[in-house]
Structure 1
Amino acid sequence: MLLCFLKAHKIEKAMNLFRAMRERGFEPKTRIFNRLIVGLCSVGRVEEAVELLSEINQNSCEKPDIYTYTGAMDGLCKVGRSDEARELLEEAIHSGIKPNPIAYNALFNGYCKEGRALEGFSLLQEMFDREIEPDFISYATLLHGLLKWNEIEMGLQIYDRMSRIGFKPCERTLNKLARGLCRVSLCKEISLGDVERVFRSIRELGYVPSPHTYCLMIHSLSTRGEMEKALSILTEMIENGHPPKRMTYNTLIKGLCSKGRVDDAMDVLKLMFERETSPSKAAYNILIREFNQSGRVFDASRLYAKALKRGVVPHQQPAEILVKETDFCEDGTF
């Protein structure tokens, strides 16, 4: 009957029956205690769950096992009391109970929710020291927490460990890691190879890069001057049915112009027209400036005129054509 109440989530009735049983001298088995603790935590009665664990330790013939402790630990972690959960784990170990990955996973989850994902590294090392092999949930929870709190480079380390073991993060997590690495690459000198490797693994695992991931990859590659790779990803993005945003096109145009490839940049502008994306004022400014610097004033003038025709007034104007006396013929003609 007690188990029926617990399965039906009737915790109060289950607790009343439990107390009545103990008053009559019936001692429930450990697995019943475990279900009661989990049930109490599921309805937010964490303090009662911890008290019940303490009562079992002190007054019961049945002894708690690792699942008894894990139930209370999980409840504490879910309400932001991970340090108390850690104390329970130490108590279990001192009592001679060997912890398992499930117990540590509760702590991983708690630390990550509280913004303390970096502390998960010490937990991971502790598991190795105690010869407890982390499972997929251990790694996945820690990786998710590190990415959530923008510890991207540490997240890459966990991802690499997972890859060596053969664990595969989900599509959403891998996309998030790739985007995080792209952002880091814009402000730190991290290896662009790491960024490309994670992006490549998305496709190798049969996943699909999200539109946001594509855009950030193009931006990251363009900023580092890897224009051929950036153009290749743009083509792939379009082929997969993801229309690039103006900012993505602008980044490519700027990157190509910085390499002196203004004609290739014009091809990107034409692609914007083909994709029915209206170029922004910034795109025209970049191209007109590059044409001016390259001495191609007539091209700059034509592009400026096209911009005006489309209702865009660039800040950058075509350079004036300077005519020297030596440019005239003897008869005064140009």
Structure 2
Amino acid sequence: MSCPYNIQSPLLHNPSIFSNPKRIHRCNLQVLAMVSLPSKTCSVVTSSALHLDETAAGIRAVNFLDKLKAIPFKDTSEILSTMEKDLSNWTLSDFNGLLMALFTANEPELAMELFSNVSSLSGLDLAPNCSTFSIIIRRCCKRNDLDEAQRILHHMMGNGYNPNVTTFTFLIHSLCKRGKIGNAFRVFQVMGGIGCKPTVQTYNCLLKGLCYVGKIEQAHEMLMNMEKKESIRPDIYSYTAVMDGFCKVGRSDEAMELLNRALVLGLEPNAVTYNTLFSGYTKEGRPHHGFTVLKLMKDKNCLPDSITYSTFLNGLLKWGKIRAALKVYKEMVGIGFEVEGKMMSSLLRGLCMKSWKEKDLVQDAYQVFEKMRERVSVIDHTSYSFVIRTLCMGRRTGEAVYHLEQMTGMGHVPRTVTFNNVIQALCMEGKIGEALVVLVSMFENGKIPSRTSYDMLVKEFNRQGLLLGACNVYGAALKQGVVPHRIPTKMMAKIVPQTVVPV
């Protein structure tokens, strides 16, 4: 069959490199001599990279890397000698393992130089096999060199090597991930042309790719066709991929229909599947639908995770559903999940503003604030300001004064309106002395009291019949260049010791 890919590649120094390893062009091996492998390379290779540490090939690969690392700078002759000596009795399996180890250890250039030159050394006859090609293709995909990966795939097949389904799927996945859906389907056709049967994972890559480029209808049609096939059955990831596509374009109800279809077929959705719906309903401005999803999730014995609750909570806060958000927050905390700091701040502000009219939320707002104080060493000044105003409006002036002092003690300078909130609350309770202390605190923190600050104090002094105190505050205001609207009055005046207001 004909192949649409161009086989010319700067990576392939000689077009016959793969068909006849003995004819590989000898590149400048100074690159190998100049490589300074980091000391952590061998530990990386030996541990989690390829799980080679328990095999003979792995030990040999590590020893070889150690020797290359120990070679003096630019000693090309010793490089060649080391390669000829150490690789002379290696199998192709050993060599493939070494290539993988080098890629994993972030030494791709060294791996490619070794790949291009190893067969030119005396005594070696290591013709690349399917595994070798697959390693190189994966390397190209990870480096986002997808054109190169496709050329190598074509050249591989042109020389009689048929990739396995894993290699095909990896390339299709990489193409779909970068939106090259047309190329992905051409590779898929090549796959079918050589009789390599795709797995459900292959189809899932295509489903995600179609949704990624906005071809939701085609993805849905492919999913429905998969249901009819006997050779391949969609799994929950297939449905989740298309559900995600529907949710991203504002069609969450259709995504819910797909979920119900998956349940009828006996599939078990996971947290990712449900989280897709939470995100979809939030995007559409219908976050309250999340309660239905959450109930279904629990009914199907799928435990909500931290991402589930965070996604749901964030959606409710975004659309101002504060009471619903508080319910989710309490459930989340009750289970033991941590709530992200920014979301706690959003919830706190929402509760504070709502509590100014709905007084039953004052305590909830304060509890959220206390929870924040337990977790965060420094609370931002805006959160303090909201809580102080909320406490004042809830007639909890003692706590308001305390947190005002805490706020200034932490180096925050409250806004004038925050001081005024406390002064007003204290005056409404007749605590004129404490209100004057707050006025003094304004001066100490570099804030000039506003006309409103003085008006509230003059008004309360007048109400209590304390003429001298009212005159004193009025005079202090004038010295600061502020002319209060309220003036001292003789109504109900009493003779009392004069109260001194600092200027």
Normalised by the length of structure 1, the TM-score is: 0.91
Query: Contact (CA 8 Å) 2:454, 2:473: kept in 1 or not?
Result: yes
1:184 to 335, 354, 370: 354
Q: What residue identity is the alignment partner of 2:475?
A: A
Deviations 1:117-169 (A, max 9, x none): 11111111111222221111111111111111111111111111111211011
1:46 to 194, 216, 219: 216
Q: Secondary structure at the match of 1:120?
A: helix
Deviations 1:39-77 (A, max 9, x none): 222233323222221222234621110011101111111
CA 1:51–1:20 in 2, change beyond 3 Å: closer, same or farther? farther
CA 1:26–1:322 in 2, change beyond 3 Å: closer, same or farther? closer
Matched, 1:263 2:408: no
Q: What's the counterpart of residue 273 of structure 1?
A: 443
Q: What residue identity is the alignment partner of 2:308?
A: S
Matched, 1:21 2:188: no
Aligned length: 323
Matched, 1:70 2:240: yes
Q: What's the counterpart of residue 100 of structure 1?
A: 270
Q: What residue identity is the alignment partner of 1:148?
A: K
Query: Contact (CA 8 Å) 2:432, 2:460: kept in 1 or not?
Result: yes
Distance of 2:299 and 2:458 partners within structure 1: 63
1:4 to 126, 148, 171: 171
Distance of 2:474 and 2:372 partners within structure 1: 41
Q: Which moved more, 1:235-244 or 1:167-176?
A: 235-244
Distance of 2:419 and 2:396 partners within structure 1: 15
CA 1:46–1:241 in 2, change beyond 3 Å: closer, same or farther? farther
Q: What's the counterpart of residue 329 of structure 2?
A: 159
Query: Contact (CA 8 Å) 1:175, 1:209: kept in 2 or not?
Result: no
Q: What's the counterpart of residue 55 of structure 1?
A: 225
Query: Contact (CA 8 Å) 1:252, 1:265: kept in 2 or not?
Result: yes
Matched, 1:193 2:360: no
Q: What's the counterpart of residue 311 of structure 2?
A: 141
Q: Secondary structure at the match of 1:190?
A: helix
Distance of 1:138 and 1:207 partners within structure 2: 27
CA 1:59–1:263 in 2, change beyond 3 Å: closer, same or farther? same
Query: CA offset at residue 24 of structure 1?
Result: 5.7
Q: What's the counterpart of residue 169 of structure 1?
A: 339
Q: What's the counterpart of residue 81 of structure 1?
A: 251
Distance of 1:157 and 1:118 partners within structure 2: 12
Q: Which moved more, 1:23-32 or 1:129-138?
A: 23-32
Distance of 1:296 and 1:230 partners within structure 2: 26
Deviations 1:273-296 (A, max 9, x none): 111112111111111101111111
Matched, 1:317 2:484: no
| Unmatched segments (≥5 aa) in structure 1 | 324-334
Q: What's the counterpart of residue 158 of structure 2?
A: none
Distance of 1:45 and 1:272 partners within structure 2: 61
Question: Where has structure 1 moved over 6 Å in runs of 4 or more?
Answer: none
2:385 to 194, 199, 215: 215
Distance of 1:81 and 1:216 partners within structure 2: 38
Q: What residue identity is the alignment partner of 2:184?
A: A
Query: Contact (CA 8 Å) 1:171, 1:208: kept in 2 or not?
Result: no
Query: CA offset at residue 309 of structure 1?
Result: 2.1
Query: CA offset at residue 250 of structure 1?
Result: 0.7
Q: What residue identity is the alignment partner of 2:288?
A: L
Q: What's the counterpart of residue 130 of structure 1?
A: 300
Query: Contact (CA 8 Å) 2:465, 2:491: kept in 1 or not?
Result: no
CA 1:270–1:165 in 2, change beyond 3 Å: closer, same or farther? same
Distance of 2:416 and 2:192 partners within structure 1: 70
Q: What residue identity is the alignment partner of 1:145?
A: G
Q: Which moved more, 1:58-67 or 1:115-124?
A: 58-67
Q: What residue identity is the alignment partner of 1:94?
A: V
2:417 to 233, 240, 247: 247
Deviations 1:76-104 (A, max 9, x none): 11111101111111111111212121111
CA 1:96–1:322 in 2, change beyond 3 Å: closer, same or farther? closer
Identity, % of aligned pairs?
40
Normalised by the length of structure 2, the TM-score is: 0.61
Q: Which moved more, 1:267-276 or 1:46-55?
A: 46-55
